[in-house]
């Protein structure tokens, strides 16, 4: 009886993964050249990749599970969905990733569906849209033009690129992402100009005092 139950359970798990494979293939083909979709079979962590559609990372079917996959195998209470986290392809291109754990009827993780969006492809679009919709409605103590034009353009572009690498526009980022962005700009020397803090504050939609607090 136990053997029959184990066989039925294994067949049910396999059926579930086959259905997930259809989703992986369909999603990848919907976003060619933009979003890699990988299905991991967590029942065999040494050869976990069951399907990879729109391959952007250079991995292959049969490659091993990632650290996130191993974490799910070790802990059934691990979050089912990890949404929009920063990632990186092997060649250094920034990515925005989402990982969806798939459990069987027994509550065990047996698979994971992972989406890796190539942010570098979208960055020029993000910058263009950010520039298109940007407004200057806020009242400032010092006008943006107080910066030399070249420095102002460089600073705006640096903020927008940093935001794009984190999967959003400057104003759409969360508090911790904005804080990390400000610290990066500070470390890169963008605060050398007296008007830089106000410019960054305007782009992020926060106060100048907040920007200085983020540098601490």
Provide the CA 17 distance to its chain's centre, in angstroms: 24
Neighbour-count burial for 111-147, b at 16+ CB within 10 Å, e otherwise = bbbbbbbbbeebbeebbeebeeeeeeeeeeeeebeeb
Tens of pLDDT, residue by residue over 19-37, are 999 999 999 999 888 899 9
Band the pLDDT of 147: cuts 50, 70, 90.
very low
Percent of the chain with pLDDT over 70: 83
Tens of pLDDT, residue by residue over 71-118, are 898 998 999 999 988 888 887 788 889 999 999 999 999 999 999 998
Is 70 exceeded by the pLDDT of residue 68? yes
* CA pair distance 85, 4, nearest whole angstrom: 41
Its pTM stands at 0.58
Tens of pLDDT, residue by residue over 186-212, are 888 877 777 788 888 888 888 888 888
Give me the pLDDT at residue 4, please: 62
Average pLDDT over residues 177-181: 88
Question: Residues near 108 by Cβ (< 8 Å), separated by ≥ 6?
Answer: 76
């Amino acid at each position: 009886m136990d053997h029959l139950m184990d066989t039925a359970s294994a067949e049910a798990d396999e059926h579930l993964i086959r259905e997930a494979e259809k989703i992986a293939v369909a999603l990848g083909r919907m976003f060619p050249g933009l979003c890699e979709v990988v299905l991991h079979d967590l029942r065999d962590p040494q050869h976990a990749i069951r399907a990879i559609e729109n391959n952007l990372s250079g991995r292959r079917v049969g490659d091993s599970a990632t650290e996130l996959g191993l974490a799910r195998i070790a802990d059934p209470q691990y979050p089912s969905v990890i949404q929009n986290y920063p990632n990186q392809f092997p060649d250094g291109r920034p990515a925005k990733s989402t990982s969806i754990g798939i459990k069987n009827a027994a509550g065990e993780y047996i698979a994971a569906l992972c989406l890796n969006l190539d942010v570098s492809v979208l960055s020029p679009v993000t910058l263009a849209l950010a520039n298109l919709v940007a407004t200057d409605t806020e009242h400032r103590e010092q006008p943006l033009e107080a910066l030399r034009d070249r420095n102002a353009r460089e600073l705006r572009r640096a903020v927008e690129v940093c935001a794009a690498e984190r999967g959003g526009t400057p104003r759409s980022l969360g508090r911790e992402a904005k804080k990390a962005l400000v610290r990066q700009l500070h470390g890169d020397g963008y605060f050398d100009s007296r008007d830089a803090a106000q410019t960054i504050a305007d782009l992020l939609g926060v106060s100048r005092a907040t920007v200085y607090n983020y540098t601490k």
